[in-house]
Amino acid sequence: MSYQVDFKEVSTIGFESSPVAKALAGLRANEARYYWNKYQHEFVTTPASEAPDTLAWIEKILAERDMKFPYKPLEVSSFEVEGLKMAYVFYENGLAVNVMYSLAEGGKRAVGFKLSDGMEIPAEFEGKFKFARQKSKLAGTIRGSFFVIKGIY
124-138: per-residue pLDDT in tens? 998 899 999 999 999
Domain that holds residue 18: 3-148
132 assigned to some structural domain? yes
pLDDT over 90 for what percent of the chain? Answer: 95
153 assigned to some structural domain? no
d(CA 110, CA 150): 9
The structural domain count of the chain equals: 1
98 assigned to some structural domain? yes
87 alpha-carbon distance from chain centroid: 7
134 assigned to some structural domain? yes
87 assigned to some structural domain? yes
Please write the tens of the pLDDT for every residue from 36-82: 999 999 999 999 999 999 999 999 999 999 999 999 999 999 999 99
110 assigned to some structural domain? yes
